[in-house]
Chains A and B, each alone.
Chain A
């Protein structure tokens, strides 16, 4: 019930050229249990993924009942300089899981 969220998995290049568009893939293991279909099933849902680059918001995903278990997201970012990424998932109970990545331009 109070097990930690996660662990998240991120696929992101370690390095890139200035101006390059990189693909970022994220996945977090989570049942996304809506509590709708089984008697007694307790609702257990993530509510948000927030992605930041150098502290600025890149993308936020508000996930609801129709989002599949083990939420998976792919998106594309243009890299101009060495950048740090921060990925934070939050559930409806306020728990969160966070991970970081760094992409070196050089």
Chain B
């Protein structure tokens, strides 16, 4: 009985931690795009499958958009779901850009899922995600 209860407690601990992380993540996403509905597709996230150095992980975000005054991406937001703070960066885009494409380098504390969102001028939000393995965590260097 005791063993069973301990096992149950052990099983519950990570779930509790994950729920707290989700709250921080959800808050960061809400701060970025409000309550706009989010759909997958129309955006690509290019990352390495494995990052040797979590302190410098190259990523590229590319949303499908003509980038005209009438139809363009206004914001791209990057979230690292398992970092101490999930917010990585937010980009404000204008039709002066030829493409809704940004490359940057991010920090990852550990292996995790990256989420990128792109919001267009009609308010719609698209999402892409990618899993990255991390050899050496980046938030401690």
Interfacial residues, chain A to chain B (CB-CB below 8 A): 21, 32, 34, 36-37, 53, 56-78
Instruction: Quote the shortest CB–CB distance from A57 to chain B (angstroms).
Output: 6
Interfacial residues, chain B to chain A (CB-CB below 8 A): 55-57, 60, 78-80, 83-94, 96-99, 101-108, 138-140
Q: Is the CB of A37 within 8 A of B139?
A: yes
Q: Is the CB of A67 within 8 A of B91?
A: no
Specify which chain A residues have a CB less than 8 angstroms from the CB of B79 in the assembled complex: 66
Report the nearest A residue to B78, measured CB to CB. Answer: A66
Q: How many A-B residue pairs have CB under 8 A?
A: 106
Specify which chain B residues have a CB less than 8 angstroms from the CB of A66 in the assembled complex: 78-80, 83, 85-89, 106-108
Q: In the complex the two chains form, what is the Cα distance from A37 to B60 in whole Å?
A: 27
User: Is chain B's interface secondary structure helix, strand, loop, or mixed overall?
Assistant: strand
Instruction: Quote the shortest CB–CB distance from B136 to chain A (angstroms).
Output: 13
Q: Is the CB of A56 within 8 A of B88?
A: no
Specify which chain A residues have a CB less than 8 angstroms from the CB of B94 in the assembled complex: 56-59
Q: In the complex the two chains form, what is the Cα distance from A63 to B96 in whole Å?
A: 21
Specify which chain B residues have a CB less than 8 angstroms from the CB of A69 in the assembled complex: 55-56, 107
Specify which chain A residues have a CB less than 8 angstroms from the CB of B60 in the assembled complex: 74
Specify which chain A residues have a CB less than 8 angstroms from the CB of B88 in the assembled complex: 64-67
Q: In the complex the two chains form, what is the Cα distance from A39 to B72 in whole Å?
A: 44
A57-B92, A58-B96 are known contacts; what are 7 more A-B pairs with Cβ within 8 Å? A62-B90, A62-B91, A65-B87, A66-B106, A73-B104, A74-B102, A78-B98
Specify which chain B residues have a CB less than 8 angstroms from the CB of A65 in the assembled complex: 83-85, 87-88, 107, 139
Report the nearest B residue to A36, measured CB to CB. Answer: B84
